[in-house]
Amino acid sequence: MASSNIIEAKNLKIQFQGKIALSSLSFSIKKGEKVALIGPSGAGKTTLLNTLATIIKPDEGELWIDQLSFKEMQNRKMLAKKLGMIRQQFDLVDQLPVIHNVLAGKLSDWSLFKSLLSLIYPQEKILAMNALERVGLGDKWSEKTSNLSGGEQQRVALARLLVQKPEIILADEPVASLDPARAEDVLAILTKLVHEEKQTLITSLHSVEYAKKYFTRIIALRDGMIYFDLPAHEVSAKDLASLYVLKEKV
Ligand SMILES: Nc1ncnc2c1ncn2[C@@H]1O[C@H](COP(=O)(O)OP(=O)(O)O)[C@@H](O)[C@H]1O
Ligand SMILES: [Mg+2]
């Protein structure tokens, strides 16, 4: 395996109740790439991201994350160093002040005692404050998380990722629940931070326009297979039209 590949997938196959969700998928991703996964609903984007996150075990095929096999990735501490996840529904604890949600990015590093103590006296507060500054929420650290808007909550999730510092960020439709202006704002911050931190990003997206604007590579999935895999600037209107065309009923 070439060492510059941070992800290598070979013939990944996943079925749900006998129905194929991913069909013999092979690809590799280099460190620092920003990959957008696009494709119609049901194409397999979420399944692929959950497989890369080692939440779903492939039925067949092999997967290496930074040269570690699927089995070696089961160590929780190790996993948190390698992979960070961000989702459409933010996964924040609404009732807690913002700073606690940011510090949740550190939990896999901390002992149980330190984690509990942090709920009363936030530990490593400066780290969290710096992360909040970088996402433009420096003044919101003590605010109850549920009082923030959707766009701000997703930026809290980005600050949590900054504190966690994983090498790879997997994001499943991270802006799907935001209005277009907030969506672009969050994507612009996410891709900027990933660039500054020299991380690798793989994101599923509805918006082809944002995929082309903010990502270096676009992998299109359809029916659990790779439909095309191109540098973002090479994806044509024709490629996109045929990707999303409705299949004729037979
Ligand atoms: N937990 C599950 N149980 C059964 N079928 C599933 C499950 N998750 C996904 N699928 C099926 O796998 C296929 C791919 O789904 P998904 O990965 O969610 O696609 P996408 O994220 O591109 O919309 C779909 O046919 C979907 O119905
Ligand atoms: Mg999905």
213-242: pLDDT as tens digits: 999 999 999 999 999 999 999 999 999 999
| Residue 72 domain boundaries | 5-91+166-244
76 confidence band (pLDDT: 50, 70, 90):
confident
Residues lying with their CB under 5 A of ligand 2, a single-atom ion: 45-46
Whether the pLDDT of residue 90 is over 90: the answer is no
More confident call, 152 vs 2:
152
Euclidean distance between CA atoms 105 and 159, whole angstroms: 8
Residue 9 resides in a domain: yes
Residue 109 resides in a domain: no
Weakest-pLDDT range from 41-50, 88-97, 168-177, 228-237 = 88-97
Euclidean distance between CA atoms 13 and 90, whole angstroms: 28
Distance 127 CA to ligand 1 centre (A): 38
Task: Tell the residue number behind the tokens 């918006």, with chain if given.
Answer: 207
Helix 180-196 to helix 150-164 angle (10° resolution) is 10
Residue in 162, 172, 195, 214 with CA at minimum distance from that of residue 52: 172
Read off the pLDDT of each residue in 58-76 and give the average, rounded to a whole number: 88
Specify burial of residue 150 (Cβ count, 10 A radius: 0-12, 13-18, 19+): middle
Whether the pLDDT of residue 131 is over 90: the answer is yes
**Which ligand is the nearest neighbour of the Cα of 48?**
1
Whether the pLDDT of residue 247 is over 80: the answer is no
Euclidean distance between CA atoms 127 and 11, whole angstroms: 41
Whether the pLDDT of residue 200 is over 60: the answer is yes
Count of structural domains, the chain: 1
Q: Which atom of ligand 1 is nearest to the CA of 40?
A: 22
Residue 49 resides in a domain: yes
Distance 21 CA to ligand 1 centre (A): 6
Residue 108 resides in a domain: no
Residue 40 resides in a domain: yes
Q: What pLDDT does residue 250 have?
A: 52
Residue 184 resides in a domain: yes
Residue 32 resides in a domain: yes
Whether the pLDDT of residue 128 is over 70: the answer is yes
Q: List the structure tokens of 45.
A: 């984007």
Q: What is the mean pLDDT of the chain?
A: 91
Q: Is the CB of 46 under 6 A from ligand 1?
A: yes
CA–CA distances in Å: residue 11 to residues 14, 93, 140, 227: 10, 37, 46, 15
Q: Which atom of ligand 1 is nearest to the CA of 221?
A: 22
Q: What pLDDT does residue 2 have?
A: 52
* CATH code of the domain covering residue 33: 3.40.50.300
Residue 158 resides in a domain: no
